[in-house]
Structure 1
Amino acid sequence: MKHLADLLLLGDPRLYETCEPVLESELPLVPDWVSDLHNVMEEIRAKYRFGRGIAAPQLGIMKRLIYLNIDRPTVIINPELTSVSDEMGDLWDDCMSFPNLLVHVRRHRNLTLSFRNEYWQPQTWNVTDWGLSELIQHEYDHLNGVLCTMRAVDKLAFRWRPTPIS
């Protein structure tokens, strides 16, 4: 079982690598990977009071796998952004790999995502919810070795967020 101490932090070279697809033959490994992702997300939520999604490479699992848990757990395997809107939105993005740093970025307001679920069934989401759209783009970037620090709108697009007091 992986824990918060296993989370890769800003500067770790693995965070800048492109992940390999999950193979159908690796499907039996997915439940353990998802359990690790869930556990670390819960530890982040308890310590920093944020966290809606996490990508496998953040735990050194260099596979195209995303775990979301907003209103229910969702496993996204081998996602592909098949279209994105021209309309953009701005936000102060956060990341579990640098939990006290906020980065001002621009992301697409809407998108279409194709992927496989944990049962290897093909799925397609047309995402028009801004909060979900920006989250998917953030996690999808992780699979391609892109951090939100690399998408900063300018050199002043960084802000410190203090650790919440328990």
Structure 2
Amino acid sequence: MKTIADIVLLGDPRLYEQCAPVLEQELPLVAGWVADLHTVMEDIRTTYHFGRGIAAPQIGVMKRLVYLHLDGQPRVLLNPELIELSEASFELWDDCMSFPNLLVRVQRHQQVTIRYRDEHWQPHSWTVRDGISELLQHECDHLDGILCTMRAIDTQSFRWRPTPAPT
């Protein structure tokens, strides 16, 4: 079982690699990968007090897999693909589990539609706005080896997150 100690940190070359698709014959492996992603995300939430989604390369699994846990509901996205991006955009301070104390000011599409398969290999399409739109763009970027540091609005778009009090 992976833990927060297994998170792939900024500077690790794996974060800059494009991930391979999950193949249907790899479905038996997905449950284990998802369990690891869930455990690591919960560790991040406990330690840093943020985390709604995590991409497989952040734990060293170089597959096109994103795990979300929103409002108590888990969602597994295999081979996600952003298929529609709104022209409207917004700016925000983005964070990342691979560099949890750094915030990066980025611009993201206000609305996106994503196509993916679930853990049962069923196809889905999902249209989201605002915060979830930003989250999906961030996680899909990870699958393509793109970090939010590479999407910074300018050279002044970085700041440290205050260190959370120990719990």
Provide TM-score, normalisation by structure 2. 0.98
The equivalent of 2:67 in structure 1 is 67
The whole-number CA distance in structure 2 between the counterparts of 1:103 and 1:80 is: 23
One-letter identity of the residue aligned with 1:138:
H
The whole-number CA distance in structure 2 between the counterparts of 1:5 and 1:112 is: 33
The whole-number CA distance in structure 1 between the counterparts of 2:5 and 2:105 is: 26
The equivalent of 1:140 in structure 2 is 140
* Offset, 1:101: 0.2
The whole-number CA distance in structure 1 between the counterparts of 2:92 and 2:162 is: 18
The whole-number CA distance in structure 1 between the counterparts of 2:97 and 2:70 is: 15
* Offset, 1:139: 0.2
Matched residue of 1:165: which SS? coil
The whole-number CA distance in structure 2 between the counterparts of 1:97 and 1:5 is: 11
The equivalent of 2:104 in structure 1 is 103
- Identify unmatched segments of 5+ residues in structure 1: none
1:1-166 map, 5 Å: 1-71=1-71, 72-127=73-128, 129-166=129-166
One-letter identity of the residue aligned with 2:8:
L
The whole-number CA distance in structure 1 between the counterparts of 2:81 and 2:131 is: 18
What number of residue pairs does the alignment pair up? Answer: 165
Task: After superposition, give the CA deviation of every residue in 1:118-158 in whole Å (9 maximum; x if it has no partner).
Answer: 1100000111x201000000000000000000000000000
RMSD: 0.5
Provide TM-score, normalisation by structure 1. 0.98
The whole-number CA distance in structure 2 between the counterparts of 1:132 and 1:161 is: 21
- Identify unmatched segments of 5+ residues in structure 2: none
Matched residue of 1:125: which SS? strand
